């Protein structure tokens, strides 16, 4: 393996040309031009989901949206490497991962529209609800992975987190536990260079991938805008985990091309020149160039049609989400309602009745 | 039935839970080879293996956070927080993750995690080793909070806490770990986990307490009886939810309420009990409820803790106050 401090692993250049790599080419030898076109379509679709989410927020239909533009390859390349019996624990910016796990557009929106605290059944998709407290989910993934090992299963847990999360104690503790118990977990750090307005340079004097070896965890730095390299690195880490070799750490070096969330204003802190540099490294454009070099010319039109259809579904699903009934407030606080919850529920029901309101 | 210390009764309960369900795991610092700093888990790693009685790294957030992941995977982790004051590094995982995941996922995810916490003072310890943080957790929806006070309950309650599909904060009164009592190792006669228990019946005033101060309240009842005062003592057992029905029934009978706990007074369990019982039986109360608690200060150095911890005389003084007796020394209303 390369040393983390070296140039990030890249298999597909910004000009669309394949870059041979003896160590990692075998991990993506099955990715034909047709398979790459599928990954391309995934990225086009999630970029379209993302822009629709922003539009819905601007139109007042959802309260908040965390854009992922620029991080499509980091998420699609890694998530498409997983099996359905693997389990992912993410932060809130991983709508592309959710898309890959099969989460439907109607389940993606309730959290952002505010009709539910989370949208999908974690066990149906092998994906926990997004963690908003930064880094908390890395411990959950590690614990889940400890359970996989205990069960003798070769399932793997993946923790997605950002560069900002690497400051949190939970992330360090997760690596301590993962190393101590040889847990089959992948730490997938998307270094998008920003923790809201704070640059990664504030918290990291060295590449983030350098931290893991200190915990006894092998790590790799990857061009996070290269979908092929992301898939190869994730497959390498998955293989290690399934073999019983324990945790791995992947630093996906990428760039958040938009705000932290729709509440944010990057013009106050981000350098436009830096933004333009990263624009040249766009994860979707380089795959399109590669596919064109391979004679697949109409990929953009085909993918765009799919993306438009998914976006229309997303918009419709979002607008059709019913408001929850008021008394759903009291559901699922405990597995069986306590007398306290039942008492407050019945008191509030009587209050609504008094006002003649639906409950 | 065997005579056991409270600590050994919890250990017996853990042993029984490990035997009853192979998804039960114990996790914590020093719980394996050492058997825990209070020896509650003594011998369990030897019997059940290091895979089920797990010595963890020294990282409280790590212990709770990985327990969340294990619960996702179908395990029932029982974690030990070595001392009350060490629970704060794990606070986020407990109140923001463990407590909420069932609600957030509309019931899809269960967090049957038991969090054992030796709590309270009275053992002459250094700082961070004598705290009573129960109100923080009772304040958080989605957590059950219980405190045991004697060996039989300790055994029953730890078994019930581990079997419960909700997360349970299980507070163990560390200065009572060595109190002995009869322990019936069956679960047949166990009252529900959320039920309070009337320990001693009486007619003149009700003392509500839990954990380490149940013994103090019983001492007070004995002492008061010498003066012809009949005190009813209620061991709350469950701090969230509280069995208000049992307390209400008692206060309707006695007309007077004294609440005592070691934790600081402001925003403590006593405030909730006094308010809720006043709401429920205002017209039956013959005096305002009185609270006997720790002062609103950080837990003091051990040479001062006797002045912090509610004791027999402070409880009796409060009884005098609610009875309107002239020999109340203080007339405190705090």
- What spatial distance separates the first Cα and last Cα of chain A, rounded to whole Å? 60
Chain B nearest-CA residue for A178: B66
Q: Which residues of A touch B104 (CB under 8 A)?
A: 117-118, 129
Instruction: Mark yes or no for CB contact A339/B165 under 8 Å.
Output: no
Tens digits of residue pLDDT in B210-264: 999 999 999 999 999 999 999 999 999 999 999 999 999 999 999 999 999 999 9
Closest CA to A212 of A184, A240, A175, A182: A175
- Tell me if A146 and B92 make a contact (CB, 8 A cut-off): no
Tell me which chain B residue has its CA closest to the CA of residue A341.
B241
Residue B181 at interface with chain A, using a CB cutoff of 8 Å = no
Say if residues B252 and B277 touch (Cβ distance below 8 Å): no
Distance CA B91, CA B169 (A): 12
Option in B57, B61, B72 nearest A180 (CB): B57
CA A96 to chain centre: 6
Q: What phi, psi does A89 have (nearest 5°)?
A: -120, 115
- Condensed to tens digits (0 to 9), the pLDDT of residues A293-325 reads 999 988 999 999 999 999 999 999 999 999 999
Cis, peptide link before residue B241, omega less than 30° from 0:
yes
Q: How far is B78 from B76, CA to CA, in rounded Å? A: 7
B183 contact A CB<8A: no
Which residue is closest to A120 within chain B, CA to CA? B105
Contact B57 A176 (CB under 8 A): yes
Q: What is the ipTM of this complex?
A: 0.94
Instruction: Work out the number of other CB atoms within 10 angstroms of the CB of residue A2.
Output: 15
Is B245 within 8 Å of A339 (Cβ atoms)?
yes
On whether any CB of chain B is under 8 Å from the CB of A85, the answer is no
Residues of A in contact with B79 (CB under 8 A): none
Residues of chain B found within 8 Å of residue A215, distances taken between Cβ atoms: none
Distance from CA of A94 to the nearest CA of B (A): 17
Q: How many residues does chain B have?
A: 334
Residues 249-308 of B with CB under 8 A from A: none
**Full pLDDT tens readout for chain B, 334 residues:** 789 999 999 999 999 999 999 999 999 999 999 999 999 999 999 999 999 999 999 999 999 999 999 999 999 999 999 999 999 999 999 999 999 999 999 999 999 999 999 999 999 999 999 999 999 999 999 999 999 999 999 999 999 999 999 999 999 999 999 999 999 999 999 999 999 999 999 999 999 999 999 999 999 999 999 999 999 999 999 999 999 999 999 999 999 999 999 999 999 999 999 999 999 999 999 999 999 999 999 999 999 999 999 999 999 999 999 999 876 666 555 4
Let me know if A256 is a catalytic residue.
Answer: yes
Q: How far is B66 from chain A (nearest CA, A)?
A: 4
Q: If we measure between CA atoms, which residue out of B143, B130, B277, B276 comes closest to residue B212?
A: B130
pLDDT score recorded for residue B333: 52
Active site residue: A35, A269, A297, A351, which one? Answer: A269
What residue of A is the nearest CA neighbor of B242? A340
Label residue A2 by pLDDT band (50, 70, 90): very low
pLDDT of residue B325: 85
Partner A contacted by B142 (CB < 8 A): yes
Contact B106 A89 (CB under 8 A): no
Q: Is the predicted pLDDT of residue A3 greater than 90, yes or no?
A: no
Indicate the pTM of the whole model: 0.95
Q: Do B65 and A150 touch (CB under 8 A)?
A: no
Tally Cβ neighbours within 10 Å of residue A20.
7
Q: Do B241 and A174 touch (CB under 8 A)?
A: no
Is A104 a residue whose pLDDT tops 60?
Answer: yes
| Helix ranges restricted to H, B232-311 | 244-254, 269-281, 305-308
Q: Report the distance separating Cα A79 and Cα B73, nearest Å.
A: 20
- Closest in A128, A133, A334 to B72, CB measured: A128
**Interface contact flag, A339 B241, Cβ < 8 Å:** yes
Place of tokens 């409060």: B318
Give pLDDT, residue B334: 44
Closest-CA residue of B relative to A339 is B241
Q: Is A13 exposed, middle or buried (0-12, 13-18, 19+ CB in 10 A)?
A: middle
């Amino acid at each position: 393996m390369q040393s983390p401090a070296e140039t990030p692993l890249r298999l597909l250049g910004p000009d669309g040309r394949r870059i041979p790599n003896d160590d990692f080419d075998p991990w993506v030898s099955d990715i034909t031009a047709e398979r790459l076109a599928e990954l391309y379509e995934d990225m086009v679709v999630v970029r379209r989901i993302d822009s629709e989410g922003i539009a819905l927020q601007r139109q007042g239909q959802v309260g908040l949206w965390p854009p992922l533009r620029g991080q499509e390859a980091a998420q699609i390349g890694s998530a498409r490497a997983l099996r359905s019996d693997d389990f992912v624990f993410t932060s809130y910016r991983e709508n592309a991962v959710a898309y890959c796990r099969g989460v439907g557009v109607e389940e993606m929106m309730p959290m952002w529209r505010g009709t539910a605290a989370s949208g999908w059944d974690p066990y149906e998709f092998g994906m926990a609800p997004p963690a908003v407290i930064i880094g908390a989910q890395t411990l959950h993934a590690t614990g889940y992975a400890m359970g996989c090992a205990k069960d003798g299963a070769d399932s793997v847990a993946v923790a997605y987190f950002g560069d900002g999360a690497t400051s949190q104690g939970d992330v360090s503790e997760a690596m301590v536990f993962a190393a101590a118990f040889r847990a089959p977990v992948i730490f997938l750090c998307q270094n998008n260079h920003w923790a809201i307005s704070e640059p990664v340079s504030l918290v990291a004097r060295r590449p983030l991938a350098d931290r893991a070896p200190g915990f006894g965890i092998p790590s790799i730095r990857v061009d996070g805008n290269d979908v092929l390299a992301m898939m190869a690195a994730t497959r390498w880490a998955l293989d290690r985990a399934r073999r019983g070799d324990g945790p791995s750490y992947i630093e996906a070096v990428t760039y958040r091309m938009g705000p932290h969330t729709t509440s944010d204003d990057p013009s106050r802190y981000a350098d436009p020149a830096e933004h333009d540099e990263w624009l040249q490294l766009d994860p979707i454009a380089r795959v399109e160039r590669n596919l064109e070099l391979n004679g697949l010319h109409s990929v953009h039109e085909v993918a765009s049609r799919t993306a438009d259809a998914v976006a229309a579904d997303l918009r419709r699903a979002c607008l059709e989400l019913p408001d929850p009934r008021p008394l759903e407030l009291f559901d699922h606080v405990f597995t069986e309602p306590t007398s306290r919850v039942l008492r407050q529920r019945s008191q509030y029901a009587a209050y609504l009745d008094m006002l003649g309101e639906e409950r | 039935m065997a005579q056991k210390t409270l600590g050994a009764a919890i250990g017996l309960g853990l042993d029984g839970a490990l035997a009853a369900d192979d998804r039960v795991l114990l996790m914590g610092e020093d719980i394996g080879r050492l058997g825990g700093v209070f020896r509650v888990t003594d011998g369990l790693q030897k019997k059940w293996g290091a895979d089920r009685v797990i010595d963890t790294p020294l990282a409280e957030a790590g212990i709770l956070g990985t327990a969340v992941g294990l619960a996702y995977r179908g395990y029932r982790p029982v974690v030990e927080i070595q001392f009350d004051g060490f629970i704060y590094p794990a606070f986020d995982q407990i109140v923001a993750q463990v407590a909420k995941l069932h609600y957030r996922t509309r019931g899809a995810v269960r967090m049957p995690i038991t969090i054992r916490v030796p709590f309270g003072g009275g053992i002459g310890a250094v700082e961070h080793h004598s705290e009573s943080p129960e109100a923080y957790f009772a304040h958080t929806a989605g957590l059950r909070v219980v405190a045991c006070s004697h060996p039989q309950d300790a055994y029953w309650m730890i078994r019930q806490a581990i079997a419960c599909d909700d997360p349970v904060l299980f507070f163990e009164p560390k200065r009572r770990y060595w109190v002995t009592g009869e322990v019936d190792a069956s679960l047949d006669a166990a009252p529900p986990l959320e039920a309070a228990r009337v320990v001693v019946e009486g007619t003149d005033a009700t003392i509500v307490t839990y954990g380490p101060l149940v013994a103090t309240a019983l001492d007070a009842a004995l002492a008061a009886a010498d003066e012809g005062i009949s005190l009813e003592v209620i061991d709350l057992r469950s701090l969230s939810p509280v069995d208000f029905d049992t307390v209400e029934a008692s206060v309707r009978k006695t007309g007077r309420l004294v609440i005592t706990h070691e934790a600081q007074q402001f925003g403590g369990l006593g405030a909730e009990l006094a308010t809720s019982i006043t709401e429920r039986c205002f017209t039956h109360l013959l005096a305002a409820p009185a609270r006997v608690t720790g002062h609103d200060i950080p837990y003091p150095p051990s040479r001062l803790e006797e002045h912090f911890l509610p004791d027999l005389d402070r409880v009796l003084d409060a009884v005098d106050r609610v009875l309107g007796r002239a020999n109340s020394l203080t007339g405190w209303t705090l």
